[in-house]
Structure 1
Amino acid sequence: MPRRLPPSKEQSALLPPFPTLAPQHIHIPATPEDFAAARAALLAAPVLGFDTESRPLFTAGAHDAGPDLVQLATPHGAWLLQLHRREALELAREVLADARILKVGFGLDNDRRSLPARLGVEPAGLQDLDRVFARHGFGRNTGVRAAVALVLGQCLAKSKKMSTSNWSARTLSPGQVRYAATDAHAPVLVHQALPAWEAAQPPPAPRPGRPRPLRIST
């Protein structure tokens, strides 16, 4: 199949904006009651959007201790687990190790490498949605912004300033909260809409067969 190009940032900007979650639907557990409610909601979900955030490293060779924040989302809400909290670490460990729950996201290779050391368990049930778009000719790094444009027909604005902010902060700014929640919420909505989108795509071109060696009869 010829290489297909995803929408550029400029093309995406012409689309209607992606509707971010209202603040009341973004949860940052802090109390035992918060964690009990988060655990009940997350373990009951068959599919969760998934992403992580780490504080930026500006020194070459600096030790990367893994993510500081784990984000999980259903179509209707998001939970931001700050891993400096013991209860958040335990909940992230339980949810990510549960193979019954499908966790969908983009660019998950680094998470597969870093999470076992950070959480003490191997994550199970991860699905990198970049692989889905690769099957349809878009390459292996489509990313959430282009995927939202392709599948949902919406513009997802991504802030470079937010992505490189201090994710180890004990109190996240409103901008960080909105950015982190969206990075988990968008994948679960894309996953939800993928069957209809895939059904409308051209079938992949058949792979050319290996040429058979020529037989010479004697």
Structure 2
Amino acid sequence: MTVVEIPEEHLRAFTKDEINAMPLRRYEGPVHVVRTEKQRDAAVKALREETVLGFDTETRPVFKKGRKPNPPSLIQLASADEVYVFQINLLPMDNGLLELLADKQVIKTGVSVHDDIIGLKKLAKFRPANFIDLGEVSQQHKMQTHGLRNLAANLLGFRISKSAQCSNWAKEKLSKQQVAYAATDAWVSREIYLAMQSLGLV
């Protein structure tokens, strides 16, 4: 691995108080909730034109001890201009969506992507390609911030809300708050990747 000179301000840890003092941001561009085959086909067609996609999944949490984790309910993919939220609990991951996740030409970037992929593989067989884990990149470069919220604070200078994290993602009709939260996670993943790219980390 090439040694990159990272500015000192990006190498340190950030306290909760420091992060909470930062401005709160969320994704404010167009969000498409994908729940029909027609919507899925249009979304995949648009996303195939991109070279870098922010990636995340959301899974209905398990509150009882000893229960197996639920499969993911959503896949979120952020392009340069839009975010697509696929309700994969309602719509199978076929007709191009799996091919997109396996496309070596399209970078998919997020945090803890290995866990997300394990969850998705319970729903469908595919060979994931060109996924970049932002937390792993930050660890390789000896940065002290690894999670999505901390990396956003470190590299983008704002905080994101985690208030909807434990909500019911398997609902047929998602709330506005859930859609905004899900879209923000994918969008921020892409923005962090671009910030890392400008520093020469990826």
Provide TM-score, normalisation by structure 1: 0.79
Please give the secondary structure, in 2, of the residue aligned with 1:163. Answer: coil
Query: Contact 1:52–1:111 at 8 Å: present in 2 too?
Result: yes
**Displacement of 1:143:** 0.8
Find the aligned partners of 2:171 and 2:26 in 1 and give their Cα distance.
26
Query: Contact 1:6–1:142 at 8 Å: present in 2 too?
Result: no
Find the aligned partners of 1:31 and 1:157 in 2 and give their Cα distance.
28
- % identity of equivalent residues: 32
Which residue of 120, 129, 132 corresponds with 1:124?
A: 129
Find the aligned partners of 1:73 and 1:193 in 2 and give their Cα distance.
15
Q: Which runs of 5 or more structure 2 residues have no equivalent in the other structure?
A: 1-10
Find the aligned partners of 2:197 and 2:125 in 1 and give their Cα distance.
34
Q: Return the letter of the residue paired with 1:67.
A: P
Query: Contact 1:75–1:189 at 8 Å: present in 2 too?
Result: no
Please give the secondary structure, in 2, of the residue aligned with 1:95. Answer: helix
Find the aligned partners of 1:7 and 1:75 in 2 and give their Cα distance.
28
Which residue of 69, 83, 96 corresponds with 2:74?
A: 69
Q: Which runs of 5 or more structure 1 residues have no equivalent in the other structure?
A: 200-218
List structure 1 runs of 4+ shifted beyond 6 angstroms: none
Provide TM-score, normalisation by structure 2: 0.84
Match in the other structure for 1:35: 40
Find the aligned partners of 1:95 and 1:194 in 2 and give their Cα distance.
23
Match in the other structure for 1:148: 152
Query: Contact 1:70–1:83 at 8 Å: present in 2 too?
Result: yes
Asked if 1:96 corresponds to 2:123, the answer is: no
Q: CA RMSD in A?
A: 2.0
The alpha-carbon distance between structure 1 residues 51 and 82, as it changes in their structure 2 partners (threshold 3 A), is same
More helix by share: 1
Which residue of 69, 83, 87 corresponds with 1:78?
A: 83
Asked if 1:20 corresponds to 2:22, the answer is: no
**Displacement of 1:65:** 4.2
The alpha-carbon distance between structure 1 residues 63 and 55, as it changes in their structure 2 partners (threshold 3 A), is same
**Displacement of 1:120:** 1.5
Find the aligned partners of 2:36 and 2:123 in 1 and give their Cα distance.
22
Tell me the matched-pair count: 190
Work out which of the two has the higher radius of gyration on C-alpha atoms and give 1 or 2: 1
Match in the other structure for 1:6: 13
The alpha-carbon distance between structure 1 residues 37 and 13, as it changes in their structure 2 partners (threshold 3 A), is same
Which piece of structure 1 moves more, 103-112 or 44-53? 103-112
